[in-house]
Amino acid sequence: MTDTETEADDRPLLATRLDDLFKTVRPKGRHWTNAEVAEELKRANPELKVGGVYLSQLRTGKRSNPSPDLLAALARFFGVSVAYFFDDKVAESVLSQVAAIEALRQSGVRAVAMRAAGMKKENLAAITAIMDQYRQLQGLPPVTDSNDPE
C-alpha cells in the first residue's frame, strides 16, 4: 500500500460498501456482528447459504462474488437498494442519509424534532427563540437556517 492509498482502496468496491453498511446502518437500532446478520438472513431466507465467516470475508475482500440472492438479502436487511453495491450515486446518497440520521440520534435532536412536528408556526417560533437563548447562554454560535419558522 502506498502513502496515497487507503485501506479501503485495496479492497474491492463491494467489500468497502458492505463494510460501510455494517459500520453505519443500525437495523432495529443497533450494530450487528457478521454472525448475527448471517443468522437473520437465514431466518428470513432459509435456503440462503451464508455464515458469519463468509460475511467477514466479503467485508475484507477475501471473497468477492456473492450470489445475487445474498446481495438482495443483505440489501433488504440493511434497508438499501441492491444498486447501493454498484452505483456510486446511490451509495453516496445512502451513506449521507445514514450519517444525518446518526447525527440526529446521537445529539438528541430527533426527540426535539418529533415533539415539534405538527406544531403551529408561532409555537415553533417561540420554541426556537428559547433554544437560541440557551445556545447563547452556553456560548454556542447562533444558528442561521433559511427554514426557520416565521
pLDDT value of residue 2: 39
Cα–Cα distance between 143 and 150 in angstroms, integer?
A: 15
- Give the pLDDT score at 74: 96
Confidence bin at 9 (pLDDT 50/70/90): low
The pTM score is 0.63
Residue 46: its pLDDT value, please?
A: 95
Closest CA to 70 of 78, 13, 62: 78
Query: Tens digits of per-residue pLDDT, 53-95?
Result: 999 999 999 998 999 999 999 999 998 989 999 999 998 988 8
